Amino acid sequence: MAYMDRILRVDLTNGKITDEVLDEHTKKMFIGGRGLGAKIISDEVDPKADPLGESNKLVITTGPLTGTKAPTSGRFSASFKSPLTNLLTDCHAGGHFGPWIKKAGYDAIIIQGKAAEPTYLAVSDESIELCSAASLWGKTTSETNETLEKKHGGKVMCIGPAGEDQSLISSIMVNARRALGRGGIGAVLGSKNLKAVVVSGSQEISVQGDGFERSVFEATSLLKEKPVTGESLPSRGTTVLVHAINMHGMYPVKNFQESQWPFDKAELTSGERIRDEFIVGRQGCYGCPIMCGHKVKLDDGREMKSPEFETVWSLGADLDNTDFNSIAEGGMLCDEYGLDTISTGSTISAAMELEEMGKINTGLKWGDSQSMLNAIHMMGKGEGIGAEMAQGSKKFCEQHDAPEVSMNVKGLEIPAYDPRGAKGMGLAYATSNRGGCHLRAYMVSPEVLGVPKELLDRFSTTDKARWTMDLQDLSTFVDSLVLCRFSQFSLGIDNYAEMYSAATGIEFDSADVMRTGARIYNLERMYNLHAGITKEDDTLPDRLLNQMVPDGPARGQTVRLKGMLKEYYNLRGWSKDGVPEEWKMKEYNLAGGE
């Protein structure tokens, strides 16, 4: 079944648990995953609501392909109003949690209100319970996961101490290995006194028919044949990008003060070195032929999850730290405390620059791996200056009279790609609906990797608005199915349309895919405008707009944003103030606009 046609609503304030029907119109208009979550938040959470108040909600959603034979179908989505950015935000994670929501009989779980005491939610196809989490409060994510897996035999998502303390950069860990990472999602659960959600079930998720089997076979074959998903990611994981991004002069160093590491430094944390000296096994998500996850063995004999590219950068090059062992340990600590590794490393990097400027005196310094680890402990426990840093770089830098030092867009820290070396990536950051995010439109693909079919001139602004918009819309649809973004390295629009159409029986072509993605993107935009953003927020840090890259392949470059942004607004059908025009909203069957 592509859909279970049921939504579970849990009101923590009064302990009321109800079942609702997922209607046909909503399915066709918003698909599932990110789209369904955006629709529910838009309908039910006031854009002016306090993100850490009782009126905010966490909407956990699967998609029509979740748990099916479709490749990379193990993912799910969670939508909420972000306490870090004040925007409608969604996070995505793999593992096995998503399929088990559907095995329990649900397409979505809406969590609202606030429990009086620490609580966790246990969901199965036999019973739904709100249980005391008093004994779990203060525990790390792995301790919580182990306890609840042993007790319920299901799949677990939970917060750590950082989420309990409502850190604005706290995450939710899934199966102790995958993260709903960005925007302070962990703080939303913490504000509701909800430690964890456990799901288990035995219902069958099956989509019959030659059309679906055929579309799945084709998609799986492409994922295995194409070089990125068939060889690079399986052998080296996302860290395969270290040398690729660094050699283009797009690898931010020392809080974006530089954009390239010397080769000998980059080599120490490269995917090739990690593969040859540290990897001892592979790990993958439910239904995934790519298997991009790995286990590493450190020099002291400890084995742990290999850090992703973003973590290797944020705890490595961004801090001028070449010690892979400390990067892996730092990533593990972030997971244990429940901290977003991108925002954590970026905030530490900002703090190191503030230290360099004489604004603070903490002992943090570039390249000092031990001070980095100490900072993570302080942030995770909310101790000393770590309590300030755990609110993210924007607030931290503002507190110390240097807001320009925070490398954020709309409050969310920018990840591991310096857009001065790829202009479309700069536009993608500036127009991202959740702030500084590379995944809303991964313009690195056409600008650096030459995927899907052509290599764009990365220093040119020509056609970048069109590419950015199209990638945003396609990615929104993929997030709504819900499939892994890595599939976009190998699959085309027609593949997604065919799998969705075959699974649901709803006739859908590539034009429908793009139209649906655009509808959801515009819905998110309207919510965020009502929440208070303006065109002035569609920008980048001054460093990226006005300070030229000092050395390397991108030397002398800045992001020429103004012209691209104007073209982007025109293509979107938005006014000069970045507001969707009324005719455009009617085209997408949405209310509002100018």
SS3 state of residue 194: strand
Question: Looking at residue 593, what is its pLDDT?
Answer: 65
Q: 300: buried, middle or exposed (CB in 10 Å: 19+, 13-18, 0-12)?
A: exposed
Band (pLDDT 50/70/90 cuts) for residue 542 is very high
Inform me whether the pLDDT recorded for 585 exceeds 70: yes
Q: Evaluate whether 73 touches 66 at the Cβ level (below 8 Å).
A: yes
Question: Looking at residue 207, what is its pLDDT?
Answer: 85
What distance in Å separates the CA atoms of residue 553 and residue 421, rounded to the nearest whole number? Answer: 8
Question: Looking at residue 594, what is its pLDDT?
Answer: 65
SS3 state of residue 108: strand
For domain 228-406, give the fold. 1.10.569
Band (pLDDT 50/70/90 cuts) for residue 306 is very high
Residues spanned by CATH 3.60.9.10 within the chain? 6-199
Contacts of the segment 575-582: beta carbons below 8 A, 24+ positions apart? 576/535, 577/534, 577/535, 578/525, 578/529, 578/534, 578/535, 578/538, 579/529, 580/522, 580/525, 580/526
The rounded mean pLDDT for the chain is 96
What distance in Å separates the CA atoms of residue 72 and residue 541, rounded to the nearest whole number? Answer: 35
Question: What are 210-234's pLDDT values in tens digits?
Answer: 899 999 999 999 999 999 999 999 9
Q: Evaluate whether 48 touches 528 at the Cβ level (below 8 Å).
A: no
Question: Looking at residue 525, what is its pLDDT?
Answer: 98
Average pLDDT on 391-420 reads 98
Inform me whether the pLDDT recorded for 462 exceeds 90: yes
Inform me whether the pLDDT recorded for 53 exceeds 80: yes
3-state secondary structure 87-102: CEEEEEECCCHHHHHH
Break the chain down into helix, strand, coil percent, rounded to 5. 45, 15, 40
Question: Looking at residue 451, what is its pLDDT?
Answer: 86
What distance in Å separates the CA atoms of residue 6 and residue 574, rounded to the nearest whole number? Answer: 35
Q: 592: buried, middle or exposed (CB in 10 Å: 19+, 13-18, 0-12)?
A: middle
Average pLDDT on 68-78 reads 96
The alpha carbon torsion through 510, 438, 161, 51 (nearest 10 deg) reads -70
For domain 6-199, give the fold. Aldehyde Ferredoxin Oxidoreductase;  A, domain 1 (3.60.9)
Tell me the torsion sign for CA atoms 165, 170, 171, 173: negative
Residues 6+ positions from 276 with CB-CB distance below 8 Å: none
Q: What is the value of pTM for the model shown?
A: 0.97
Inform me whether the pLDDT recorded for 208 exceeds 80: no
Band (pLDDT 50/70/90 cuts) for residue 372 is very high
Residues spanned by CATH 1.10.599.10 within the chain? 419-587
Inform me whether the pLDDT recorded for 64 exceeds 90: yes
Average pLDDT on 81-89 reads 98
Question: What are 498-529's pLDDT values in tens digits?
Answer: 999 999 999 999 999 999 999 999 999 999 99
Contacts of the segment 43-47: beta carbons below 8 A, 24+ positions apart? 44/110, 44/112, 45/81, 47/81, 47/88, 47/527, 47/528, 47/530, 47/531, 47/532
Question: Looking at residue 56, what is its pLDDT?
Answer: 98
Angle made by CA atoms 543, 439, 463, in degrees to the nearest 5: 70
Question: What are 241-284's pLDDT values in tens digits?
Answer: 999 999 999 999 999 999 999 999 999 999 999 999 999 999 88
The CATH number of domain 419-587, selected from 1.10.10.60, 1.10.599.10, 1.20.1050.10, 3.40.50.2300: 1.10.599.10
Band (pLDDT 50/70/90 cuts) for residue 158 is very high
What distance in Å separates the CA atoms of residue 535 and residue 550, rounded to the nearest whole number? Answer: 29
Band (pLDDT 50/70/90 cuts) for residue 421 is very high
Question: Looking at residue 591, what is its pLDDT?
Answer: 80
Residues spanned by CATH 1.10.569.10 within the chain? 228-406
DSSP sequence for 278-329: TEEEEE--TT-SS--EEEEE-TTS-EEEPPPHHHHHHTTGGGT---HHHHHH
Inform me whether the pLDDT recorded for 206 exceeds 90: no
pLDDT cut 90: percent of the chain above it = 96
Inform me whether the pLDDT recorded for 454 exceeds 80: no
